[in-house]
Amino acid sequence: MNDISKDKDYQEFFAGIKELAKGLIQIRERAAIEYAPIVEEFCARKHAAANEVGRMLDYLFEFADDKRILLMYKKVCRSFFYE
């Protein structure tokens, strides 16, 4: 394989990685938008079964690398464990 062919393969590979990264960003954005009202409503209840709280934290944990979701995670913890 010559250098031009390798360079093209690398460019295609990185273009694919770039598209995947864009998709992940879009998924995180969508998760933050979708979970915000759900978490607000959930925390406003002030009473929930342990399995409900655990399930909510599990859902949020999937996206905890996003600051907005991490804040929601903390809000659930504070609402049900620290108050």
pLDDT in tens, 35-56: 999 999 999 997 899 999 999 9
Please tell me what DSSP assigns to residue 31: H
Among 67, 43, 65, CA closest to 56: 43
* pLDDT at position 7: 80
* pLDDT at position 83: 62
Q: At residue 1, does pLDDT exceed 60? A: no
CB 35 within 8 A of CB 60: yes
* pLDDT at position 33: 97
Structure tokens at 46: 């002030």
The whole-number average pLDDT for the span 55-63 is 96
* pLDDT at position 70: 96
